[in-house]
Amino acid sequence: MTSNTPYNVVLVEPEIPPNTGSIARLCGATNTTLHLVRPLGFSTDDKYLKRAGLDYWKYVDIRYWDSFDEFLQVQDETRLYFLTTKTDRSYLEAPFKSGDFLIFGKETKGLPEKLLKLYSDRCYTLPMPNPNIRSLNLAMTAGIVLYHAIGRG
């Protein structure tokens, strides 16, 4: 981890190009490394993906992983934080620090249940005060959580 990479955002099997493009732009703006875990629901040459990231792609440190298992094999588990709607623990309680990995699941299904059970003590959510709204857009959630983490150090 280099000193100019305060955090890592991990997208596990993202499906919607504009979300990934927006998150890539967010990562570029914050010197955050973006990890994309395959399979992706789109091509990284996708015009919608590029449009959402505009001309900032050259400033984004993107790493690709063939599977989440491959990603996990080389990580320090104590640096992993899983964002999910399937917990009551607010992201505001997470002890984020520079170098941590903020992990988000695919837009339609989130992270696998098996994974959430295995790392239940490392799962956090963005609380929804309105019970009629299940969650926010992935890119918006990533932005909120990442900027909160950066503010913590």
Is 142 within 8 Å of 23 (Cβ atoms)? yes
* Six token digits for residue 8: 């890592």
Full-model pTM: 0.91
Per-residue pLDDT of the chain (153 residues; tens, 9 = 90+): 334 458 999 999 999 888 998 999 999 999 999 999 999 887 776 565 566 555 677 889 999 999 999 999 999 999 999 999 999 999 999 999 999 999 999 999 999 999 999 999 999 999 999 999 989 999 999 999 999 999 986
Q: What is the set of domains in the chain, with CATH numbers?
A: 8-152 (3.40.1280.10)
Q: Which has the closest alpha carbon to 81: 96, 63, 66?
A: 96
Task: Using CB atoms within 10 Å of the CB of residue 142, give its burial: 0 to 12 exposed, 13 to 18 middle, 19+ buried.
Answer: buried
Eight-state DSSP code of residue 148: H
Tell how strand 62-65 and strand 123-124 pair up: unpaired
- Count of CB atoms situated within 10 Å of the CB of 136: 14
